[in-house]
Structure 1
Amino acid sequence: MSIDPTTLRTFIAAVEGRSLAQAAAREGLVTSAVSKRIAELERTLGITVLTRHNRGVEPTAAGLDLYHRALSILRQMDSLTSITEDYASDGRSKIQLVANRSAIILFLPKDIALFQSQQSHKVRIDLLEAYSGDIPRLVVEKNLDIGIYHATGPAPGVYSLPYYQDNVTLVVPNGHPLQARESVRLDDVRKYDFLGYFPRHSYESFMQLAGHSLTGPLNVRIQVSNYEARCRMIREGLGIGIMPEGIANTYLQQFGLTKIALEDSWAKRQFYLCVRDPETQRDTSRALFEFFATRTSNKKI
């Protein structure tokens, strides 16, 4: 006996819509195609599953039994299909991890390498980059295994644990009037030209975060997301910039730059780990999440 999934879905749509026409609209078919599939299903089974009348269709007792069995069959088939999301093509376990750029540059390479070195069976990690503000939503909507974001507090709708902490710092070229300062408040240096990106990625989002600490807008000359390119522009005197301290340290000597601590409270960032639901995590995903959790302890980068 050969009954394809499309026929079962069409039959389910007819039962739930109590109409061949509604089933056709739901499944993207013409009504005659739905009628033909139901007729072939009845011929294959040797029983009548739908009673036709002028108001539509009704399942027979056999049809009602088939309806519940068909739902169960399709659920099982969907669970088989989901295997492709959980495993790589070579059969290894696969974990989908989404993180912001700072996390990917600053600490994920070391932590992932250490995790992989402790595993008897290697897992494949698919690492996606996204903005922190989008990551909790992506974990829920796209059913990603683990997210890493920074925020002023845990995001709603996901289960979060604190991860690393870092600071954003002001970066100026050597010889700049601010070079001798150990720390500043951002509002004290508003008169200088700035190069974006900013924490929260756009100037508008940054102002929502830090605007309460400023008495006026910043003069943003150029927006550039690439850290190295931003440092090159700072060296050429095109403006001063704000960037994660751990990333700034990479370029200070190379480009003749100086970092200056920011005294503003928003300059300290808290990273969080998040999952959709810890109770439904797969074993491999849970192992990585728990490993990351042991690396937290509010460590600073």
Structure 2
Amino acid sequence: MNGELGNHASGSRCRIRLLCNTAALTEHLPDLLSHFLLRHPQLDLDIEERSSYQIVESLTRRQSELGLLADHTAFNALESRPFRTDRLVVIAAKHSPFFVGRKVIQFEELLTEPFVGLTSTNALQQHLEEKAKQAGKWLALRVRVATLDAICSLVTQGIGIAIVPEATYRRSQLRKRLSMVRLQDTWATRLLYLCTYCFDALSPYAAELAKHILARSDLDVPENESER
């Protein structure tokens, strides 16, 4: 902390490592972090996508200061603050007969359908494949792509269905060419939490970043439930 305060006083650059799951990285952070970085030109961020389990492990080992992850992972001894709700939904090409008359659907009902998915190293993709494995099946992946926007584009062509964060569907420019159904499984609605080993021990810039992120939470959680 003394070293970072010295850097702050001298005007030299500082760097923070922030780990995020797929939804946090692609849907919740870009606009939020751009405002913060514009206010702090001397600060650099290393933002890395990891699974929630990997984020917990890195924070516990003090290999990073902050992480945004879903509540389906045990936080162990980490301190946490609620950030936002993240829902996973199923998308298909507009008027897909598979969705006719459906407002919700179970994940296992989808496992006979062809999927458009993300790369094998993507945290969200690994999560979905693990859920399929727990159901005793495999995702029938027709194609893997690098981004959620690419998934939406391919799904509009009728190549397959996909599971994406609801925020991805809501912001997609292709939304009018897509159908969306929510997943009924309890694990498909997650709370995203900002976690660290100890909020009081954060370096000055990391503490300010944490404050900035939490000020933009969309959750109204009672004070006695703000830590897990």
Q: TM-score range by the shorter chain?
A: 0.7 to 0.9
Between structure 1 and structure 2, the one with the greater Rg is 1
- Pick the aligned partner of 2:124 from 192, 201, 208: 201
Hey, what does 1:167 align to over in structure 2? 87
- Cα pair distance change 1:192/1:255, threshold 3 Å: same
Deviation at 1:244, TM superposition (A): 0.5
CA–CA separation in structure 2 for the residues paired with 1:113 and 1:221: 35
Higher helix share: 1
- Cα pair distance change 1:144/1:189, threshold 3 Å: closer
| SS of the residue 1:191 aligns to | coil
State whether residues 194 and 222 of structure 1, in contact with CA within 8 Å, keep that contact through their aligned partners in structure 2.
Answer: yes
Matched, 1:223 2:144: yes
CA–CA separation in structure 2 for the residues paired with 1:201 and 1:101: 6
Amino acid at match of 2:194: L
Deviation at 1:169, TM superposition (A): 0.5
Q: How many residues are matched?
A: 216
Deviation at 1:246, TM superposition (A): 0.5
Matched, 1:272 2:193: yes
Identify unmatched segments of 5+ residues in structure 1: 1-78
CA–CA separation in structure 2 for the residues paired with 1:140 and 1:90: 30
Hey, what does 2:70 align to over in structure 1? 150
CA–CA separation in structure 1 for the residues paired with 2:215 and 2:145: 35
- TM-score normalized by the length of structure 2: 0.76
1:216-243 per-position Cα deviation (integer Å, ceiling 9, x unaligned) = 4442322333212222221222211001
Hey, what does 2:225 align to over in structure 1? none
| SS of the residue 2:217 aligns to | coil
1:112-146 per-position Cα deviation (integer Å, ceiling 9, x unaligned) = 345467x6x65514131221332222334463221
Hey, what does 1:107 align to over in structure 2? 28
CA–CA separation in structure 2 for the residues paired with 1:252 and 1:260: 18
Hey, what does 1:290 align to over in structure 2? 211
- Cα pair distance change 1:189/1:105, threshold 3 Å: closer
**Structure 1 vs Structure 2 CA RMSD:** 3.5
Higher strand share: 2
Amino acid at match of 1:276: Y
CA–CA separation in structure 2 for the residues paired with 1:232 and 1:116: 31
Hey, what does 2:56 align to over in structure 1? 136
